Amino acid sequence: MKFFIDTANIEQIKEAQALGVLDGVTTNPSLMAKEGIKGEENIFNHYKTICEIVDGDVSAEVISTDFEGMIREGEILAALHPQITVKVPMIKEGIKAIKYFSAKNIRTNCTLVFSPGQALLAAKAGATYVSPFIGRLDDIASDGVDLVYKIVQMYRFYGYETQVLAASIRHTQHIIQCVEVGADVITSPLSAIEGLLKHPLTDSGLKTFLSDYEKSQE
Ligand code: G3P
């Protein structure tokens, strides 16, 4: 199970990297806007900065929605740094673009996936990653983790190499549920990853160990 952090915030990326368990980063235009990154040059530099902090894949999303625009943008993004993965939306033109990038050995992340049928198309086009959005499905009273389960089963049955990257993770329990259904990758906020550290019995146990040590030294 790979851990990606879903943010464009440099401090949080550094903190996750320092924890020693980070395998990559995903961003999207909303996350970039949240950090106040404006203008093509600044956006490109931001991606390069992220790549220099982490060791793994860094998803950078195209803004175009037509095939030619996606190709143009994706090739520029991929040339920025060897760790860049081109994030492409799950639309008709996006599938064509993923197929094109796949033939050129440019890694892709097919984003905004909400159904097994969409995931099937992404795999057939040769996407490196497919991103089912679990939190957004939960938001509309659907079952996001069940979608991850269905995609994992389908890919295993047919032997597709596309990795299932569970996205739109909102809390720690989502990560555990994704482990249970066999997601290859989770991308989540730092808070959800840090939630994995917490257990009251760890805290109380450590407190006792330390106080017993202190008493034994008196
Ligand atoms: O990776 C996609 C993710 O950023 C979407 O998350 O919380 O906006 O649904 P959210």
pTM of the model: 0.96
How far does the centroid of ligand 1 lie from the alpha carbon of residue 167, in Å?
A: 6
The mean pLDDT value for 63-77 works out to: 98
For the CA of 187, the nearest atom of ligand 1? 1
The mean pLDDT value for 55-75 works out to: 98
Nearest CA to ligand 1 atom 5: 168
The mean pLDDT value for 148-165 works out to: 98
Which tokens belong to 120? 């099937």
**Mutation pick for ligand 1 pocket among 26, 59, 110, 136 (CB with most ligand atoms within 8 Å):** 136
Which tokens belong to 190? 């730092």
Nearest CA to ligand 1 atom 8: 168
* 28 ligand 1 Cβ < 6 A: yes
How far does the centroid of ligand 1 lie from the alpha carbon of residue 169, in Å?
A: 7
In contact, 115 and 154? CB cutoff 8 Å: no
The mean pLDDT value for 68-91 works out to: 98
| Residue-level pLDDT at 181 | 98
Please indicate whether residue 92 is annotated as part of the active site: no
| Residue-level pLDDT at 63 | 97
DSSP-derived secondary structure letter, 196: T
Task: Assign 108 a pLDDT band (cuts: 50, 70, 90).
Answer: very high
Average per-residue pLDDT for the chain: 98
| Residue-level pLDDT at 170 | 97
Task: Assign 3 a pLDDT band (cuts: 50, 70, 90).
Answer: very high
d(CA 89, CA 97): 10
**SS3 at position 166:** strand
| Residue-level pLDDT at 52 | 98
The mean pLDDT value for 157-176 works out to: 98
Tokens 């989770």 sit on residue: 186
How far does the centroid of ligand 1 lie from the alpha carbon of residue 177, in Å?
A: 17
Per-residue pLDDT tens over the stretch 5-24: 999 999 999 999 999 999 99
In contact, 8 and 31? CB cutoff 8 Å: yes
The mean pLDDT value for 180-204 works out to: 97
Task: Assign 32 a pLDDT band (cuts: 50, 70, 90).
Answer: very high
Residue 135 Cα distances to 116, 141, 147, 172, angstroms: 16, 10, 11, 12
Nearest CA to ligand 1 atom 10: 168
| Residue-level pLDDT at 155 | 98
| Residue-level pLDDT at 190 | 96
**SS3 at position 186:** strand
Nearest CA to ligand 1 atom 9: 168
